[in-house]
Amino acid sequence: MSCVGYIRDPRPSRHRDTAVCILYHTSGIFLSSLLCERQRLYNTLTMSDPLARLRAFPKAPPPNDNPSAIRGNVSLESKQLCANILAYHVAHYPGSTVFANEALRELKAVEVNVMKTAEGESKKETLKCEAIFETPVLKESLNVHGTLSGGFAAHMLDVCLFGVLFSLGIETGFDASGVSTAMDLNWYSPGLPGMTLKVVASSVILGSKVSASRAEVYDKKSGRLLITATQNIAPFRQSRL
For 87-137, the pLDDT digits (tens) are: 999 999 999 999 999 999 999 999 999 999 887 677 778 999 999 999 999
| Same domain (yes/no): 178, 86 | yes
- Over residues 172-228, the pLDDT tens digits come to 999 999 999 999 999 999 999 999 999 999 999 999 899 999 999 999 999 999 999
Asked whether residue 81 falls in the same domain as residue 28, the answer is no
75 and 99 within one domain: yes
Residue 5 has pLDDT above 50, yes or no: no
Same domain for 143 and 25? no
Number of domains in the chain: 2
- 132 and 197 in a single domain? The answer is yes
Same-domain status, 114 and 37: no
pLDDT bin (cut points 50, 70, 90) of residue 48 is confident
Q: Left (φ > 0), alpha (ψ -120 to 50) or beta: where does 232 sit?
A: beta
CB 209 within 8 A of CB 190: no
Q: 162 and 177 share a domain? A: yes
pLDDT at res. 124? 77
Q: Which domain holds residue 90?
A: 50-235
Q: Are residues 108 and 172 in the same domain?
A: yes
Per-residue pLDDT, 118: 80
Q: Decide if 241 is inside a domain.
A: no
Portion of the chain with pLDDT greater than 90, in percent: 73
- How does the average pLDDT of the chain come out, rounded? 86
Residue 240: inside a domain, yes or no? no
Structural domain includes residue 213 = yes
In this structure, of 2-16, 63-77, 123-137, 151-165, the range with the lowest mean pLDDT score is 2-16
DSSP states of 82-145:
HHHHHHHHH--STT--STTTTTTTT-EEEEEEEEEEEETTTTEEEEEEEEEEEEE--GGGB-TT
